[in-house]
Structure 1
Amino acid sequence: MNHQSVKMKRSLYVPLVLFAGIIVLQFLPFVRADSVQSVPAKPLAGVPEEINAILEKSCFDCHSSQSNLSWYDKIVPLDYFVNGHIAKGRAALDFSKWDSLENPARNNLLYYSLNKILEGEMPLKSYSYIHADNKPTENDIAVLKRYLTERTPRKAFDPELVLDSNENLNSPKAVEKIIVAANANGIEYIPEYKDWKLISFSDRFDNATMRLIYANDIAVKAIEENRVKPWPDGAIFAKAAWKSRSNADGTLSTGEFFQVEFMIKDAQKFKSSLGWGWARWRGKDLKPYGGKAILTTECTNCHKPLKENDYVFTKPFLLKNLN
């Protein structure tokens, strides 16, 4: 036997030994990951059967109590990754909690899910690679978009309605006439936000609002220097929202002022609420919204899925090299 043949045989030993080791591991129960419990999830109440079918196929395995694992999902050590992904997925978003949610929260859940699909973040590429049949098709996505648009229709604009909300929001004199009370958690209203830099905007078709997002100097500097994971203490975002109106020509424009809300970063002061202080004022009279517990719970529950982005939904405009 020549030297080359011996070398080739030896080169086969490593993969053969690894393969044999993996086979042996399958019969050793103590090396298996603790399987996540799977309980059949109920169809989402008030949601058409077609939409339920799409969500169940593409989302429920990791985002509900129901996980249909294939035989290859149970192979050691892949089962550690699979069960870990499911546990994280349920913690971030769980459709099994649908019945406990109010309708606005349900709309937000659907809106968030669709956006993650459109952004290409969900399903995870590692999941889609193995479960290609579960990935939402272009038709599935179109059906979801159409359904959400119909679920939260925009109200037609009434030309006889005098809308002075924009003036009330942007006129210093108008604001000076309003005595704005502090939020229930002690956070004071910040009228200067209107002079901050605009860093993004969003059209929330799930609740028919159009939003402008402003950032203070600390947040703007963090964006310029790409220091946003996490955001530095002192960074503040203001999100002003108007009800969107559908015009006769099919275009959209801002209607009645809806609310302004703030996210204030202080990792220690607001440690119990994801490191952010949350505050919201509603209507033209800027009335503080909700009690401390209600406001904080609503905001943190909504933002928890964005842990990897320091709980911030906004993707700011590129602000580098502007000087």
Structure 2
Amino acid sequence: MKKVIMPIAAVLIIIQFFRPQKNISAQVQANAIERHYTVPQHVSTLLKTACYDCHSNNTSYPWYNNMQPIAWWLSSHVNEGKEELNFDEFNLYTVEKKKKKLHEIAKTVKEGEMPLSSYTLVHTNAKLSKPQQDEISEWASSLEKEIR
């Protein structure tokens, strides 16, 4: 049994020294959606609470992000989320991509697909009520029609 546990423990200790880069930005980005489009304050608050950890350049990390391999998994998840949609880089998108992303926001939030249940399991404040889902969805649909 020692021959199995000791190598596993050694690997778990060693990997603690290899940390992914954190996704932290202290300021509103130049291409952030709110710098170029109207985002009502209440919608902005909802987006920051339910979406921005994975879909912006600023993640609020939980305490367990200090443990490997969890930090690698979270980093991968955040990077995937930012590749799919990044509110801090929104104005870099083409008009067509902006419209597509806004349509996807409206649809996935209204259908309860976002935020992910694996995220809201730990971040209970990110759970969106039906009225909150509707508010985000209506805002995204309205902005999609507005963009030319």
The normalised TM-score by structure 1 is: 0.36
Q: Partners of 1:58 and 1:97 in 2: how far apart?
A: 18
Within the alignment, does 1:36 sit opposite 2:15 as a pair?
no
Within the alignment, does 1:120 sit opposite 2:112 as a pair?
yes
Within the alignment, does 1:147 sit opposite 2:135 as a pair?
no
Say which structure is richer in helix: 2
- SS state at 2:104 partner: helix
Task: Identify the residue that residue 101 of structure 2 maps to in structure 1.
Answer: 109
Say which structure is richer in strand: 1
Distance 1:55-1:107 versus aligned 2 partners, 3 A rule? farther
After superposition, the C-alpha distances for 1:228-273 in whole angstroms (9 at most, x for unaligned) are xxxxxxxxxxxxxxxxxxxxxxxxxxxxxxxxxxxxxxxxxxxxxx
1:63–1:86 Cα contact (<8 Å) kept: yes
After superposition, the C-alpha distances for 1:18-65 in whole angstroms (9 at most, x for unaligned) are 9xx49x7399413x4x13331146361321111111111111111111
1:241-320 to 2 correspondences below 5 Å? none
Report the CA distance between 1:140 and its aligned residue.
Answer: 1.3
Q: Partners of 2:83 and 2:94 in 1: how far apart?
A: 19
2:105–2:140 Cα contact (<8 Å) kept: no
Task: Identify the residue that residue 53 of structure 1 maps to in structure 2.
Answer: 45
Aligned residues: 136
Task: Identify the residue that residue 123 of structure 2 maps to in structure 1.
Answer: 131
Task: Identify the residue that residue 207 of structure 1 maps to in structure 2.
Answer: 145
Report the CA distance between 1:102 and its aligned residue.
Answer: 6.3
Question: What letter matches 1:110 in structure 2?
Answer: L
1:61–1:68 Cα contact (<8 Å) kept: yes
Question: What letter matches 1:118 in structure 2?
Answer: K
Report the CA distance between 1:103 and its aligned residue.
Answer: 6.3
Higher RCO (C-alpha under 8 Å, 6+ residues apart): 2
Distance 1:147-1:131 versus aligned 2 partners, 3 A rule? same
Q: Partners of 2:47 and 2:99 in 1: how far apart?
A: 14
The normalised TM-score by structure 2 is: 0.71
After superposition, the C-alpha distances for 1:75-123 in whole angstroms (9 at most, x for unaligned) are 2221121110001111111111123346665444232112122333322
Q: Partners of 2:111 and 2:24 in 1: how far apart?
A: 28
What is the percentage of aligned positions where both structures have the same residue? Answer: 21
- SS state at 1:35 partner: coil
Q: Partners of 1:142 and 1:94 in 2: how far apart?
A: 21
Report the CA distance between 1:148 and its aligned residue.
Answer: 4.1
Q: Partners of 1:41 and 1:107 in 2: how far apart?
A: 25
Q: Partners of 1:92 and 1:145 in 2: how far apart?
A: 18
Within the alignment, does 1:25 sit opposite 2:17 as a pair?
no
Gaps of 5+ in 1: 1-9, 11-16, 153-205, 209-323
1:65–1:96 Cα contact (<8 Å) kept: yes
1:159-238 to 2 correspondences below 5 Å? 206-207=144-145
2:109–2:137 Cα contact (<8 Å) kept: no
Within the alignment, does 1:81 sit opposite 2:19 as a pair?
no
Question: What letter matches 1:207 in structure 2?
Answer: K
